[in-house]
Amino acid sequence: MPSRSRRSTAHTPTLSGTSHELDPYLPRNGNLGYRVSRYDLQLDYRVNANRLRATATITATSYQQLDRFTLDLAGAMRVDRVGVNGKAARYSHRSGKLSVTPAVAIPPGAAMTVTVRYGGTPRPVRSPWGEVGWEELSNGVLCGNQPNGAPSWFPCDDHPEAKAPFQITITTDSPYYALANGVLIDKKRSAAQTTWVYEQVEPMATYLASIQIGEYTRRELAAGPVPISALHPRRLTEQFDRSFAAQVAMMEVFSELFGPYPFPRYTAVVVDDDLDIPLEAQTFATFGANHCDGTRDSERLIAHELAHQWFGNSVTLARWRDIWLNEGFACYAEWLWSQRSGGRSADEWARHYYEKLQSEPVTTPLTDPGPREMFDDWVYKRGAVTLHALRLRLGDGAFFQLLHRWTDKYRYRCVTTEDFIALAGTYTDESLTEFWRDWVFVPTLPPYPAP
């Protein structure tokens, strides 16, 4: 979900799909004619000046003749040079699009390597959901891209279905710790600067790409079976230990309920500024200092962000209208954790929010809330209540088998509501047509299901 700091056509998309359509919720983002297979980002950043110099190398395959193609890149970035397959290319950069004309047209089915040298003073992208993307902190930087902030700091095909592996190299001033998605594979210090190299092997949507730079202490919370670490200002050590005391137990519970954790490791980051909301990124999540106050008041948010590693980051929505597949599942994970940790049961939470949904009716269905409402709280809560209703319908055994199968079958892939409906149908002999109509496709809230 976008951050602000305080200062329907059915289809089954896959990573190997040859093409994708632009998303009607974000029609200015995403590009046609090719599929990206890898990003290599080399970032040189000066914290005090907020100056970025960078080179992006994008490997892609065309699925049609490309005499010209586009990438998403915010206007705050200045492009210095573009090359395609080793040859200089003509380009123009306006209205958030980098238009590239290669020296030799790219035929259908051909591989291409696009190199973009660029730089400038990065800043967030303004959107109907606030400012998203690159965000300066009081002493560092974070990137919260969802849904369209990735072009604020690198050229890309900014579409959730366009997942690809990444390598992110960050060179910055040595007092700072630099974090990016994936696994740290190299670190070199030279004079007053340090270079950090991260490899994200598992395919990642651009909205989940992120870097964090700050004066942080790094600590290991668990060595295995999933390595878990923490990054936070030294001054918040005691507060972190209390506020995030359940982090390791959450990983164990969610791995049991949802299936194996889908990535090599997980990191909980706490910045030295307050944030309105936490941020998910692939392999880590970011919290504000206000979420690390020495109480356990933010425990549901900690659970929510961890659950996104399964629901959203590994299994990723193919179109923004299906945001409930991310947020409804992560919200339901909050309720499951509450029950497992001795708090209210999932059923108690579902009834509580069902009553709130009843008192605040909406006029759009869960599967198509509209771009301006897709991050509204009712989407999260109705999505979670819908999952609980499905659990009551299927029974616990079949329901949790379904979740395991969902995260396994579509691991590192993209999905739609229709994919979940089809898979759920294999866990019962009864027709679920009316169930999905009432809970997902019709705005009116149906009666609370009988247990």
pLDDT at position 19 is 58
pLDDT at position 132 is 96
Residues 191, 240: one domain?
Answer: no
User: Is 394 in a helix, a strand, or coil?
Assistant: helix
* 274: amino acid identity, one letter: D
Q: Averaged over 313-321, what is the pLDDT?
A: 98
What is the CB neighbour count within 10 angstroms for residue 57? 15
Q: Averaged over 170-193, what is the pLDDT?
A: 96
DSSP category for residue 446:
P
Would you state the structure tokens that stand for residue 294, as one six-digit string? 């020495």
Sequence-distant (6+) residues with CB within 8 A of 348 are none
The count of structural domains within the chain is 3
CATH of the domain at 404: 1.10.390.10
Counting Cα atoms < 13 Å in the Cβ hemisphere of 208 gives 33
Cross-strand partners of 45: 52
* 428: amino acid identity, one letter: T
Q: Averaged over 187-202, what is the pLDDT?
A: 96
Sheet of strand 211-214: strand arrangement: 125-127, 130-137, 140-144, 211-214, 177-180
CATH of the domain at 275: 3.30.2010.30
Domain termination site, one of 285, 309, 333? 309
Residues 304, 320: one domain?
Answer: no
Query: What is the per-residue pLDDT across 385-402, written as a single tens digit (0 to 9) for each?
Result: 999 999 999 999 999 999
**Segment holding 266, helix H or strand E:** strand 266-270
Cis peptide before 147 (omega within 30 of 0): yes
Residues 160, 184: one domain?
Answer: yes
In a domain, 451, yes or no: no
pLDDT at position 149 is 98
pLDDT at position 111 is 97
Would you state the structure tokens that stand for residue 398, as one six-digit string? 């079949």
CA dist 54 and 52 (Å) reads 6
Residues 415, 272: one domain?
Answer: no
Residues 116, 191: one domain?
Answer: yes
- Helices 377-394 and 396-409 pack at an angle, to 10 degrees, of 120
User: Is 348 in a helix, a strand, or coil?
Assistant: helix
Q: Which of 121, 74, 115 is nearest to 98 (CA)?
A: 74
What is the CB neighbour count within 10 angstroms for residue 309? 27
Residues 335, 413: one domain?
Answer: yes
In a domain, 280, yes or no: yes
CATH of the domain at 90: 2.60.40.1730
Query: What is the per-residue pLDDT across 80-99, written as a single tens digit (0 to 9) for each?
Result: 999 999 999 999 999 999 99
Residues 45, 88: one domain?
Answer: yes
User: Is 13 in a helix, a strand, or coil?
Assistant: coil
**Segment holding 71, helix H or strand E:** strand 69-72
CA dist 408 and 259 (Å) reads 7
CA dist 321 and 365 (Å) reads 10
Angle at 261 between CA 229 and CA 423, to 5 degrees: 155
pLDDT at 364 exceeding the cut of 70 = yes
Using only C-alpha atoms, what is the Rg of the chain? 22
pLDDT at 220 exceeding the cut of 80 = yes
DSSP category for residue 315:
B
Which range of residues forms the domain containing residue 229? 216-309
pLDDT at 16 exceeding the cut of 60 = no
